[in-house]
Amino acid sequence: MTRPVILFRPLVTTLIGCVVIAITAIAPAMAVEPITEKPWREAVVSVTDLDVTARFFTEIGGYETLDRGALSASAIAAWGLPAAASGHYRLLRAPMGGDFGQIRLVTFDAAGRREPMRPGSRAWDTGCYFSMMIRVKNMQSIYDDAIRLGWWTETPITALQFGESDLRVVIYRGPDGVQVQTYDRLSPPAA
């Protein structure tokens, strides 16, 4: 019975390899213009404790709290939650200021049974986002501070060549499975 499985794996591997080669060959012809070249404005993350999750961003990243409070009835309705549900939010802004790079942490009460959106998620899974990507400096210091706050990592600090860029990257996993990928671009220098 194991013999067919052994023969099946090389076939599947070969077929996947052919598909990857075909996609790679036609990808340049299918290139599309980006929808925007602007940085992301706001990411919304559902958590169980606003302040515990916020510590990663405020203590390590220097984010500031712009606002916090109760979620409006219209926000609850927009998420399709029961009318009896309620919640709170905490809006954080990246240290460079401006109206981009904001993170809105939300928590809900009486919204029904909580379930992880993607239990055991991995970067190669389909659907949803895997992590938020944030540019940083002083990767080792951030790594040590994240561990101190109880965040864990999916990767060690890893060297990555991306085009002409020499990067160091790491993916952190915090409370509620929140994942943040940080990257430090060593070269070329920022414009």
pLDDT tens sequence across 130-141: 677 888 999 999
In a domain, 18, yes or no: no
Q: How far is CA 109 from CA 10, 27, 81, 166, in A?
A: 50, 45, 10, 44
Nearest partner of 170 among 185, 158, 160, 186, judged by Cα:
158
Could you give the number of structural domains in the chain? 2
Q: Identify whether residues 107 and 41 lie together within a single domain.
A: yes
Residue predicted with more confidence, 107 or 2: 107
Instruction: Give residue 104's domain range.
Output: 37-112
Q: Identify whether residues 142 and 107 lie together within a single domain.
A: no
CB 116 within 8 A of CB 86: no
pLDDT tens sequence across 33-90: 767 777 778 889 899 999 999 999 999 999 999 999 999 999 999 989 999 999 999 9
Residue 101 has a pLDDT of 84
Indicate the pTM of the whole model: 0.73
Q: Out of 17-26, 88-97, 121-130, 152-161, pick the least confident.
A: 17-26
Position 1 confidence tier, pLDDT thresholds 50, 70, 90? very low
Q: Identify whether residues 107 and 146 lie together within a single domain.
A: no
Residue 117 has a pLDDT of 65
In a domain, 55, yes or no: yes
CB 106 within 8 A of CB 131: no
